[in-house]
Amino acid sequence: MTELKKSPVRFDEEKHEYWLGDRQLLGITSTLIHRAFPDKYKGVDSEVLQNAARKGKELHNLIEYHDKFGTDAIEHTDPRVQSYERLKTERGLRTIANEYLVSDEERYASSIDIVMLNQQDEICLVDIKTTWKLDRESTALQLSIYKRFFERQNPSLRVVSLFVLWLPNKDMSLAEMISLQPVSNDIIDALMEADIADTPFDITASYGNLPALVASAEDEIIRIEESLKQMKARQEQLKKGLYEVMEKYNVKSFVGSRVRLTRILPTQASSFDSKQFEADHPELYKQYTKTSDKKGSLKITINQ
């Protein structure tokens, strides 16, 4: 069983304050995230923000109740809770803690919405968002800070995945559990230094506008990759079927109006074990090895 260390920090829920003994600590979203993205809520009416915060808190409480007492404890009609359970099940995740408090025990503290385990019993951190438009960039930073504090608080545990659970209030058909890439510790260090010194922090200086570019292209990349995968699978299915027909009637080649089919007969192939040759004859391998320039490329991996 995975046991999480309890933080010595105390959270005053009524005042929404974090205390370590008689010293007040600062919340992460109101300091670090605000410093990195100062215009995030620019122009948004304070009453709208307060109403969103109240609804968000209500949803957090519903989900925590659901996690603690299970689906049989209460009949959930809230579509957000139903979407949460569905998305969690699809990912093979299970909850081990709600509102888990983490801190650097020096300056900052915050509560992680949900701590989960995947099917390999590895730690995953989840943040719930209910906004109509999902800000992946700031959420990735927020979860990355949580990850850092979580691992400091639990030195024997490592966080393998960060997820944002997007439950947009206006349309549950958009609900999604999205994997986010962690922000590097160097960026977090620079952000903390700027916050302590009370100086502006330009997060784009760390990696330009790459996160925004990735976010805008992300859906299209996934659609293309999924289409390619499906087309490749269909191509292999067609080739297998055509090969079996040609083999059955002993047809070696067939020319259609636009396609030529050639049945390659089974054979044996030989390959050169360059790795073993290098181990056995390193000098000779070096003598016959030539170096050439190779252009850089981009590898795309779709997070599941």
Helices 210-248 and 136-153 meet at what angle, rounded to 10?
Answer: 90
pLDDT, tens digit (0-9, with 9 covering 90-100), for 54-91: 888 888 888 998 888 776 555 556 788 889 999 999 99
Phi, psi of 262 (to 5 degrees): -125, 120
Of the pLDDT bands very low, low, confident and very high (cuts 50, 70, 90), residue 94 is: very high
pLDDT of 92 reads 94
> CA neighbours within 13 Å on the CB side: how many for 195?
22
Q: Taking residues 13-23, what's their average pLDDT?
A: 92
Is it the case that residue 158 has pLDDT exceeding 90? yes
Separation CA 286–CA 290 (nearest Å): 8
Q: Taking residues 31-49, what's their average pLDDT?
A: 83
pLDDT, tens digit (0-9, with 9 covering 90-100), for 181-199: 888 888 899 999 999 999 9
Q: Taking a C-beta distance cutoff of 8 angstroms, is the pair 136, 101 a contact?
A: no
Is it the case that residue 108 has pLDDT exceeding 60? yes
pLDDT of 291 reads 83
pLDDT, tens digit (0-9, with 9 covering 90-100), for 196-240: 999 998 877 665 555 566 666 777 787 888 888 899 999 999 999
Separation CA 27–CA 40 (nearest Å): 17
Which residues have C-beta within 8 Å of that of residue 31, sequence separation ≥ 6? 108, 195
Sign of CA dihedral 28, 21, 16, 85: positive
Q: Annotate 159-189 with b (16+ C-beta within 10 A) or e (fewer).
A: bebbbbbbbbeeeeeebebbebebbeeebbe
pLDDT of 304 reads 57
